[in-house]
Homo-oligomer: A and B are copies of this chain.
Amino acid sequence: MITNKEKNLYRNTKQRQKILDLLVNSKSHPTADWIYLKLKKKFKNLSLGTVYRNLRILKETGQIWELNFGTGFSRFDAVVHSHYHFICSSCQKIYDIKIPPMRELDDRVIQLTGFRILSHRLVFFGLCDVCKLKKKKNSKNVKNHRTQYRS
B-binding residues in A (CB < 8 A):
67-71, 74, 86, 88-89, 95, 97-99, 105-106, 108-109, 112-129, 132
- Complex Cα–Cα for A114 and B131 (A): 12
Q: Which 5 A-B pairs have the closest CB atoms?
A: A68-B70, A117-B126, A116-B127, A118-B126, A120-B124
Give the residues in chain B near A108, CB-CB below 8 Å: 99
Asked if B121 contacts A126 (CB within 8 A), the reply is no
Asked if B112 contacts A118 (CB within 8 A), the reply is no
- Complex Cα–Cα for A120 and B144 (A): 20
* Interface contacts beyond A86-B109, A109-B124: sample of 4 additional A-B pairs, CB < 8 Å, sorted by A: A86-B113, A105-B124, A115-B124, A116-B126
